[in-house]
């Protein structure tokens, strides 16, 4: 069965634009449904009953709301770091290379700044730091070190973890790894 992907959005929404870019980058085919925010459609009210806002991604009948959450969902569902723990051999090596290239781009953007926005912890840091809790699983499954290739990025992550708001909010990397092991077992990946 093919994936059914629907995007409830308005063409001028900067948040929807994020989602459309992510879908295009992953080559995901989807049905676009333009929404009238003055006269909200029954499907929008059903799929996002709390906030009644766009964008809403509907994947096989299940709604995902909030643009950054949708972008992260798209990234996880349509490969990204998942390939590091779900493949072997040449495919896994290619996945590690792709992941490290993406992380090196982030590290280059970070430069010598303590945080992505400069001297202060900000929006981009909040958006990116949750990925750090998955690094241990990627490294363990892929038998490599992210720190070896991206030391400044790891310094940034450790700096972020010094903030109690971050350290208390992120998943324990060991529990993430245990979760990945459950996924591997469920999908028959050794």
DSSP state of 79: S
Among candidate residues 46, 64, 82, the one where a domain is terminated: 64
Tokens of 84: 């590091």
Last residue of one domain, picked from the residues 15, 45, 64: 64
Q: Do 56 and 139 have their domain in common? A: no
* Mean pLDDT estimate for the chain: 91
Whether 1 shows a pLDDT value over 60: the answer reads: no
**Residue 100 and residue 48 share a domain:** no
Cα separation, 58 vs 127, whole angstroms: 22
Looking at the predicted structure, is the pLDDT value of residue 77 above 70? Answer: no
Pairwise pLDDT comparison (50 vs 159), residue with the higher score: 159
Task: State the total domains in the chain.
Answer: 2
Encoding tokens for residue 49? 């009953």
Q: Degrees (nearest 5) of the Cα angle 83, 109, 180?
A: 25
Same domain membership, residue 180 and residue 109: yes
Are 45 and 69 in contact, with CB atoms under 8 Å apart? Answer: no
Tens-digit pLDDT profile for residues 134-173 = 999 999 999 999 999 999 999 999 999 999 999 999 999 9
Kindly report the CATH number assigned to the domain that includes residue 104.
1.20.1050.10
Is 145 found in the same domain as 75? Answer: yes
Looking up residue 33, the CATH number of its domain turns out to be 3.40.30.10
Provide the residue range defining the domain that includes 40. Answer: 5-64
Are residue 46 and residue 92 in the same domain, yes or no? no
Across the range 126-136, mean pLDDT stands at 91
Query: Does pLDDT of 25 surpass 90?
Result: no
Position 76 pLDDT exceeds 80: no
pLDDT digits (tens, 9 = 90+) for 107-116: 988 999 999 8
Alpha helical stretches, state H, 26-172: 42-47, 67-77, 82-86, 89-110, 123-128, 132-142, 146-149, 151-161, 164-167
Question: Does the pLDDT value for residue 61 go beyond 60?
Answer: yes
Q: Do residue 97 and residue 177 come from a single domain?
A: yes
* Same domain membership, residue 178 and residue 84: yes
User: Same structural domain for residues 36 and 106?
Assistant: no
Alpha-carbon distance 47 to 70, whole Å? 14
For residue 55, count CB atoms less than 10 angstroms from its CB and return exposed for 0-12, middle for 13-18, buried for 19 or more.
Answer: buried
Same structural domain, 76 and 148: yes
Helix axis angle, 132-142 to 89-110, nearest 10°: 150
33 with 96, same domain: the answer is: no
Higher pLDDT, 118 or 76: 118
Partner residues linked to 78 by β-bridges: none
Tell me the two tokens of residue 146. Answer: 């992210």
* Calpha distance 97→102 (Å, rounded): 9
Q: Closest Cα to residue 53, out of 113, 41, 180?
A: 41
User: Using CA atoms, how far apart are residues 33 and 119, in angstroms rounded to an integer?
Assistant: 41
């Amino acid at each position: 069965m093919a994936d059914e992907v629907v995007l409830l959005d308005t063409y001028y929404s900067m948040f929807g634009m994020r989602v459309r870019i992510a879908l295009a980058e992953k080559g995901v085919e989807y049905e676009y449904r333009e929404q009238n925010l003055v006269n909200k459609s029954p499907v929008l009210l059903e799929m996002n009953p709390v906030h009644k806002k766009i964008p809403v991604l509907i994947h096989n009948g299940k709604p995902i709301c909030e643009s950054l959450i949708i972008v992260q969902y798209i990234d996880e569902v349509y490969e990204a770091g998942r390939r590091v723990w779900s493949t072997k051999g040449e495919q896994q090596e290619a996945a590690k290379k792709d992941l490290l290239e993406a992380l090196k781009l982030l590290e280059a953007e970070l430069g010598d700044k303590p945080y992505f926005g400069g001297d202060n912890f900000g929006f981009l840091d909040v958006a990116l730091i949750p990925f750090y809790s998955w690094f241990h699983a990627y490294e363990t499954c892929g038998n490599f070190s992210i720190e070896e290739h991206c030391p400044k990025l790891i310094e940034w992550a450790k700096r972020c973890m010094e903030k109690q708001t971050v350290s208390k909010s992120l998943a324990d990397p060991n529990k993430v790894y245990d979760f990945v092991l459950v996924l591997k077992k469920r999908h028959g990946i050794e």
